[in-house]
Amino acid sequence: EPKSSNKSASLTSQQVVDITRQHNYGTWRFQKGWNPMHIADAEGCTIVDGAGKRYLDFSSQLMCSNLGHKNQAVIDAIARQAQELSYAMPGYATTARAELSQLLLEVLPKGISKFFFTTSGTEANEAAFKIARMYTGKTKIIARYRSYHGSTAGSIAATGDPRRWAMEPGGKGPGVLFAPEVHCYKCPIKHTYPGCGIACADYIEHMIRNESDVAAVLVEPIVGTNGVIVPPEEYMPKLRRICDEYGVLLIADEVMTGWGRTGEWFAMNHWGVVPDILVTAKGITSAYVPLGLCATSEKIADFFQDHYFAHGHTYEAHPLTLAPAVATIREMQRLGLVERARERAPYVEGKLKELKAKHPSIGDVRGKGLFWAVDLVKDRTTKEPFNTYSDKVSGKPLLVDQIAAKILADGVTIQAWVSHFVVAPPLIVTKEQIDL
Ligand code: PLP
pLDDT digits (tens, 9 = 90+) for 132-154: 999 999 999 999 999 999 999 99
Is residue 62 domain-shared with residue 96, that is, in the same domain?
no
What per-residue confidence (pLDDT) applies to 73?
Answer: 98
What per-residue confidence (pLDDT) applies to 2?
Answer: 40
Q: Whose CA is nearest to atom 1 of ligand 1?
A: 149
Q: Which residue from 60, 118, 146, 149 has its CB within 8 A of the most atoms of ligand 1, so it is best to mutate?
A: 149
Is residue 359 domain-shared with residue 330, that is, in the same domain?
no
Q: Which amino acid is at 63?
A: M
For ligand 1, whether the C-beta of 218 sits within 6 Å is no
Q: Which amino acid is at 401?
A: D
Q: Which helix (H) or strand (E) holds 141?
A: strand 140-144
Domain range enclosing 261: 73-335
Residue whose C-alpha is closest to residue 182's, from 170, 193, 173: 193
Distance 380 CA to ligand 1 centre (A): 30
Is residue 220 domain-shared with residue 122, that is, in the same domain?
yes
Give the model's confidence band at 7: pLDDT under 50 very low, under 70 low, under 90 confident, else very high. low
Residue 134 lies in a domain: yes
Is residue 97 domain-shared with residue 213, that is, in the same domain?
yes
- The domain boundary, picked from 319, 335, 351, lies at 335
Is residue 209 domain-shared with residue 284, that is, in the same domain?
yes
Name the more confident of 371 and 169: 371
Q: What is the CATH number of the domain that holds 429?
A: 3.90.1150.10
For ligand 1, whether the C-beta of 124 sits within 6 Å is no
CA dist list (Å): 48 to 43, 65, 400: 8, 15, 22
Give the nearest ligand 1 atom to 125 CA.
10
Task: Name the β-bridge partners of 101.
Answer: none
Distance 264 CA to ligand 1 centre (A): 19
Q: Whose CA is nearest to atom 5 of ligand 1?
A: 256
What per-residue confidence (pLDDT) applies to 184?
Answer: 97
pLDDT tens, position by position, 282-320: 999 999 999 999 999 999 999 999 999 999 999 999 999
Is residue 317 domain-shared with residue 369, that is, in the same domain?
no
Distance 290 CA to ligand 1 centre (A): 12
Is residue 81 domain-shared with residue 214, that is, in the same domain?
yes
Residue whose C-alpha is closest to residue 287's, from 259, 315, 245: 259
What per-residue confidence (pLDDT) applies to 166?
Answer: 86
Q: Whose CA is nearest to atom 7 of ligand 1?
A: 150
Task: Name the β-bridge partners of 423.
Answer: 372
Q: Which residue from 255, 277, 313 has its CB within 8 A of the most atoms of ligand 1, so it is best to mutate?
A: 255
What per-residue confidence (pLDDT) applies to 99?
Answer: 98
Whether the pLDDT of residue 172 is over 70: the answer is: no
For ligand 1, whether the C-beta of 291 sits within 6 Å is no
CB 383 within 8 A of CB 227: no
Distance of alpha carbon 181 from alpha carbon 178, whole angstroms: 9
For ligand 1, whether the C-beta of 61 sits within 6 Å is no
Distance of alpha carbon 142 from alpha carbon 117, whole angstroms: 24
Give the model's confidence band at 168: pLDDT under 50 very low, under 70 low, under 90 confident, else very high. confident
pLDDT tens, position by position, 331-374: 999 999 999 999 999 999 999 999 999 999 999 999 999 999 99
Residue 22 lies in a domain: no
Is residue 189 domain-shared with residue 110, that is, in the same domain?
yes
pLDDT tens, position by position, 246-286: 999 999 999 999 999 999 999 999 999 999 999 999 999 99
Q: Whose CA is nearest to atom 14 of ligand 1?
A: 121
Report the domain count for the chain. Answer: 2
Distance 151 CA to ligand 1 centre (A): 8
Is residue 362 domain-shared with residue 266, that is, in the same domain?
no
Give the model's confidence band at 5: pLDDT under 50 very low, under 70 low, under 90 confident, else very high. low
pLDDT tens, position by position, 87-137: 999 999 999 999 999 999 999 999 999 999 999 999 999 999 999 999 999
Distance 63 CA to ligand 1 centre (A): 10
Distance 124 CA to ligand 1 centre (A): 9
Residue 27 lies in a domain: no
For ligand 1, whether the C-beta of 255 sits within 6 Å is yes
Is residue 290 domain-shared with residue 274, that is, in the same domain?
yes
Indicate if ipTM > 0.95: yes
Give the nearest ligand 1 atom to 254 CA.
3
Give the model's confidence band at 6: pLDDT under 50 very low, under 70 low, under 90 confident, else very high. low
Residue 248 lies in a domain: yes
Dihedral of the alpha carbons of 165, 419, 226, 203, in degrees to the nearest 10: -80
Is residue 310 domain-shared with residue 168, that is, in the same domain?
yes
Average pLDDT value over all residues in the chain: 95
CB 45 within 8 A of CB 56: yes
Residue 206 lies in a domain: yes
Name the more confident of 236 and 3: 236
- The domain boundary, picked from 279, 308, 335, lies at 335
Residue 6 lies in a domain: no
For ligand 1, whether the C-beta of 283 sits within 6 Å is no
Q: Whose CA is nearest to atom 13 of ligand 1?
A: 121
Residue 33 lies in a domain: no
Distance 346 CA to ligand 1 centre (A): 27
- The domain boundary, picked from 302, 335, 368, lies at 335
- 3-state SS assignment for residue 182: coil
pLDDT tens, position by position, 8-54: 678 999 999 999 999 999 888 888 889 999 999 999 999 999 999 99
Is residue 149 domain-shared with residue 95, that is, in the same domain?
yes
CB 86 within 8 A of CB 322: no
Distance 7 CA to ligand 1 centre (A): 32
Residue 25 lies in a domain: no
